[in-house]
Structures are given as C-alpha cells and as structure tokens.
Amino acid sequence: MNGPKVTRSAGRSAVRPTFEQTRRDIVGVIDIGSNSLRLVLYDHNNRAPQILFNEKVMCALGRGLNLTGKLNPAGVELARDNVERFVALSRRLEVANLYILATSAVRDAEDGPSFVAMLEKMCGVRIEVISGEEEARLAAAGVHASIPDADGITGDLGGGSVELVTTGPGIVFRATSLPLGPLRLLGATLDDSMPRAEVDRSIAAVDWLKLGQGRNFYAVGGAWRSLARMHMEQTDYPLHMIQHYQVSRNELEGFLDLVSRLSRRSLDKVTGVARRRAETLPLSAYVLLRLLRATEPRNVVFSATGLREGYLYSLLSAKEQGQDPLIVSATQVARSNPRFGVDGETILSWTDPLFPGQTVAERRLRRASAILSDIGWAEHPDYRPQQSFMRCLRMPLPGIDHAGRVFVAATIHARYGGDADDPILLEVGRLLDGESLRRARAVGQAFRLAYTLTGGAPGLIHDTGLALENGRVVLSIPEHTAIYTGEAVQRRLEALGRTMGSQTALKTNNPQPPKRRRA
C-alpha cells in the first residue's frame, strides 16, 4: 500500500510519512468512541495546538452493549467506512503523526479485538485500545492542558462509560471507569428506570468521591456539553463558549434534575439539542446529578478538551508541559500577522509601575493582553475596537476562564480607542466586576499610549517611562526629543489618567551632570 508507514513507539501508534513533510508538522487523532467517531487534525503538537480539521460521525458502536456483549452491527459498518476515509484523508494531507485510539465499547465488546484487527488490516494502521484507568488519566490530562490550575475531580462521560479521576496537585490520585455510558445502558429501549438504578449502585460503590468536596468537578464529554449549552440558553448567558463555562453546584443541580425528567418530545422542542443527543440526554443529566451529589464540589466547570488533547499532552516533554498555554497561544496568534514584530514583553514591563500590588494572576492576563495588543492593526480603522474585541473574546485561547477572556478583550478594545459605553462591551461586561473592567480599560489605554509614542513599534519605548508618582500618572520622556511629544500623546495620557482617576504629568528626563571634585 502506498503512503506513510505505520510504526509503533513507546506504546503509541503513529503514522510516519515516507515523503517530504509540509511546512506544518501536522498531527492527528482518530478517536473511536462508544457513540462517536472523530478525526481531529492539529497544526503541530505543542502546549497550545491549533485545530486544522475536525469531523465527527455518530456511529453508536456501544448501543446495546450491555444486552448483547457485542458492538452495534450498524455502527461497525459505519465506523469501518469512516475510519478508512479518515486514514486516507490524513495521508493526502501529509499528516506527520496519526494516533488512533479506541475506548470503552471496543475494549469491552466480545468482538472488539476482531473489529480492531479488521481496521488495522484494511487501513494499514495500528490502533491503541485504551484501558479504563488510562482513559481516565488522559481525560484529566486533557483538562489540565487547557485549565492548568484545575483542582478537583474530572468526569468524562462517553456513550459507553464514565471515567472519574482526581485532578490537580495536592489531591490523592484515584481513577475509576464505570460502565455507565447512556448509549450502552439504554440499548434499543428508551426506558431508563433500570439504568438509573444501575447508576445509583455504581456511583455508591466508589469510595473516594468525597475527595472532590469543596473543589471543582470538571465535566467532559459531548452529552454534558449539550447540557451546558441548554443551561446557557436558559440563563441567557452572554458568551456561548463551552470551554471553562462554570456554574455553581447548587444552581446546576436544580437544572439537571429538571432535564433528567424531560421526555424525548419535550427535548425535541429545545433549541440547540441535536436529535441523536435527545434520546440519551435525560440519563446523561441524571448521571451528572448523582455524581455531583456524591462529590459535593463547589462548582462545575465544563471542558471542551479531554482524551484527545490529553493524549497529545502526554507526548510532550516535561519542559513543554510546564509552559503556560495562554501565553504560548497568544504568542502564536500575535506572530501570525505582525506589523513591526511582537514585543509584548516590553509593553508589559513598561506598564508595570502603573499596577503596584498586582497579583500573579492579574499580571498574567496583562501579559497575554500585551502580547495580543497589536492584532487589530490590519483592520479597518472604524471597526478596530469591535473587531479586535470579538476576536479576543472568541478565539480558542486555552488556559483562561470567561472572566479572563472579557478582561483581555476589554483591554484590546480600549487599546484601539473603544468607548466604555460601547454596547458590544456592555453585553458581556457583566462577567467582570466593575473594578476589573475599569482596570482592563486602563491597561488598554496604557498600551494605546505606548503605540502612539512609538508609531506602532514598541521596541522604541525604552527611552520613556510610565509611573505613579504622588497619585499622578507621570510620563517621562527624553529632553529635546520631538518624537515623543505631540497633541496625540497628550490626549492618550489624559485619557489614561481619567480612567485611573488620577491627574497626569509629562516630564523630561534631565539627569544632572556629575559634580567635579575639588583638587
């Protein structure tokens, strides 16, 4: 067969091309799940890989597994055709490394081994069947990859199982895989009274779930993401983004209890609920509800990253894993279309004196904002504030919660001269408290001053200084240097002072010559 060779290394399957690689070291993951089959291609594997292609097919391999012990025959046929397509497409796109993973349904079915052997022979690939504990570990790694400070318990609900694993430093490692996937439990019938009893028994048998008490529960999986979308609609949440959507346990439990009692007919009327999800959504809500009552977390945080991202994260070096995904991602975005180069660190240091006593988390957001501070330079001047705001708000940045997104977006909005009463800002501004929003605007106006001083090249800013002196915002410039003076500079400085509630001053650096010593 023509195309890339299939090799296996350190327990990982990979497709390595025998031809010249493209400019990207594209990596791909084919995830053969109990409900869905998915191919995701990433530009490369680092701390913040960008998705190039994402296609899903609902095969329902695990339907009725508890009753028959075998894979769903219709799903096997559909999976066979689409795995073949995904492998062929990956070869045509010159994917450097292709990892093929199979989870609950394939590992538990009597005919799972023959199904894997058939695909491997047909496509010339190797498929790695992930154990239950390993699947749990990878789900937690996927959460950690996008939420580095995750602390609590990760739950990953698939069609065939739910994986539970402690997540974060300072918490004893525990991992469990329970055969509670809704597709597997329901089989051909929609009567979920017996499956609910099985859910209760299985969760009650896990003796370590109280380790999540007072922490967060990280919800992974397509069915739980659907529940998050429903909750967003119900509460009129202003940012429709699943990643890092956070809800208090008390609030979510009432919602889950309601959904778990809804009929298929009722769910068909709910906007945004896919027809194939509707039949399993009540049981999925019930599983999450029972887990929350068992773990008693403070909040539920929904994660769009899981097994696939965790698998790629596990392949990184310890040094790469230790990098901040937000800063890595922001730098990649800034470098994709620079004007005079990316110099966010210079602007960050230049504005440090304005924010004494800032926490590490606050400075981290200011650093990300500084790196992204010139991404709107090529937009039409009349639309730069709004375009840059929406881009920062919605781009797939990892390592940042929704309030952080609004902070960064509001900073860049102000950097391009956006008004504080702009409706586009006010719509999501409620995700930030008033003081944080004011600080974001101050940061953005300080950046705007920096770009005005230097004509858009922040590297020229070293001869100037910005400071708080006796309650005033003071801009220091070299003496007799016309490049740093002008009406626009004064306007930008005064706007910054108004936002900070401070007077402003412009002074020249005029160092005194050293005194001569007397002979």
DSSP assignment string, 130-168: PPHHHHHHHHHHHHHHH-TT--EEEEEE-SS-EEEEEES
What is the spatial distance between Cα 158 and Cα 182, in angstroms, rounded to a whole number?
8
Tally of CA atoms within 13 A in the half-sphere of 228 that contains its CB: 23
Amino acid at 279: E
Q: Report the CATH number at residue 413.
A: 1.10.3210.10
- For the ranges 178-182, 278-282, 318-322, 484-488, the lowest mean pLDDT is seen at 484-488
Q: What confidence tier does 7 reach under pLDDT thresholds 50, 70, 90?
A: very low
Residue 152 has pLDDT above 50, yes or no: yes
Here the tokens at position 111 are 């005919």
Q: How far is CA 180 from the centre of its chain?
A: 26
Q: What is the pLDDT of residues 76-97, one digit of tens each?
A: 999 999 999 999 999 999 999 9
Q: What is the pLDDT of residues 328-344, one digit of tens each?
A: 999 999 999 888 877 88
Both 333 and 449 in one domain: the answer is yes
What is the spatial distance between Cα 207 and Cα 199, in angstroms, rounded to a whole number?
15
Q: Considering 407, 434, 457, which residue would you say is the last residue of a domain? A: 457
The pLDDT, as a whole number, for residue 183 is 85
Both 14 and 97 in one domain: the answer is yes
The answer to whether residue 363 sits within a structural domain is yes
The pLDDT, as a whole number, for residue 11 is 39
The answer to whether residue 179 sits within a structural domain is yes
Q: What confidence tier does 54 reach under pLDDT thresholds 50, 70, 90?
A: very high
DSSP conformation class of 245: E
The answer to whether residue 168 sits within a structural domain is yes
Q: Residue range 472-484: average pLDDT? A: 81
What is the spatial distance between Cα 306 and Cα 415, in angstroms, rounded to a whole number?
35
CB 280 within 8 A of CB 183: yes
Both 427 and 394 in one domain: the answer is yes
- Which backbone phi and psi does 306 adopt, to 5 degrees? -160, -125
The answer to whether residue 452 sits within a structural domain is yes
Neighbours of 440 (CB within 10 A): 26
Unique residue bearing structure tokens 């045509």? 92
Both 106 and 177 in one domain: the answer is no
Amino acid at 361: A
Residue 512 has pLDDT above 70, yes or no: no
Both 406 and 364 in one domain: the answer is yes
Q: What is the pLDDT of residues 94-125, one digit of tens each?
A: 999 999 999 999 999 999 999 999 999 999 99
Could you tell me which of 481, 506, 471, 470 has the C-alpha nearest to residue 491?
506
The pLDDT, as a whole number, for residue 186 is 78
The answer to whether residue 76 sits within a structural domain is yes
Here the tokens at position 408 are 């960064």
Q: Considering 413, 434, 457, which residue would you say is the last residue of a domain? A: 457
The pLDDT, as a whole number, for residue 19 is 40
Q: What confidence tier does 14 reach under pLDDT thresholds 50, 70, 90?
A: very low
The answer to whether residue 169 sits within a structural domain is yes
Both 168 and 52 in one domain: the answer is no
DSSP secondary structure letters along 4-71:
-EEEEETTEEEEE-SS---SS--EEEEEE-SSEEEEEEES--SSSPPEEEEEEEE--TTTTHHHHSS-
Q: What is the pLDDT of residues 489-498, one digit of tens each?
A: 899 999 999 9
What is the spatial distance between Cα 334 and Cα 408, in angstroms, rounded to a whole number?
14
Q: Output 412 or 159, whichever has higher pLDDT.
A: 412
Residue 5 has pLDDT above 50, yes or no: no
What is the spatial distance between Cα 295 and Cα 217, in angstroms, rounded to a whole number?
8
The answer to whether residue 50 sits within a structural domain is yes
> What total number of domains does the chain contain?
3
Q: Residue range 419-444: average pLDDT? A: 93
Both 138 and 210 in one domain: the answer is yes
Both 109 and 33 in one domain: the answer is yes
Both 111 and 175 in one domain: the answer is no
- For the ranges 128-137, 244-253, 413-422, 501-510, the lowest mean pLDDT is seen at 501-510
Unique residue bearing structure tokens 């019930």? 286
Angle, CA 146 vertex, CA 374 and CA 401 arms, to 5°: 65
Q: Residue range 34-45: average pLDDT? A: 95
Q: What confidence tier does 460 reach under pLDDT thresholds 50, 70, 90?
A: confident
The pLDDT, as a whole number, for residue 275 is 66
Residue 274 has pLDDT above 80, yes or no: no
- For the ranges 5-9, 154-158, 188-192, 211-215, the lowest mean pLDDT is seen at 5-9
Both 291 and 428 in one domain: the answer is no
CB 162 within 8 A of CB 178: yes
What is the spatial distance between Cα 216 and Cα 234, in angstroms, rounded to a whole number?
22
Both 102 and 160 in one domain: the answer is no
What percentage of the chain carries pLDDT values higher than 90? 74
Q: Report the CATH number at residue 89.
A: 3.30.420.40
Could you tell me which of 130, 139, 101 has the C-alpha nearest to residue 310?
139
Q: Report the CATH number at residue 205.
A: 3.30.420.150
Q: What confidence tier does 13 reach under pLDDT thresholds 50, 70, 90?
A: very low
Both 339 and 427 in one domain: the answer is yes
Q: What confidence tier does 67 reach under pLDDT thresholds 50, 70, 90?
A: confident
Neighbours of 423 (CB within 10 A): 9
What is the spatial distance between Cα 17 and Cα 97, in angstroms, rounded to a whole number?
8
The answer to whether residue 314 sits within a structural domain is no
The pLDDT, as a whole number, for residue 3 is 36
Q: Output 482 or 504, whichever has higher pLDDT.
A: 504
What is the spatial distance between Cα 54 and Cα 50, in angstroms, rounded to a whole number?
11
Pairing outcome for strands 12-16 and 27-32: unpaired
What is the spatial distance between Cα 369 and Cα 100, in angstroms, rounded to a whole number?
37
Q: What is the extent of the structural domain holding 337?
A: 324-457
Query: What's the predicted TM-score (pTM) here?
Result: 0.89
Q: What is the pLDDT of residues 285-315, one digit of tens each?
A: 999 999 999 999 999 999 999 999 999 999 9
The H or E element that residue 218 is part of is strand 216-220
What is the spatial distance between Cα 218 and Cα 140, in angstroms, rounded to a whole number?
9
Q: Considering 108, 130, 152, which residue would you say is the last residue of a domain? A: 130
Residue 416 has pLDDT above 90, yes or no: yes
Q: Residue range 28-54: average pLDDT? A: 95
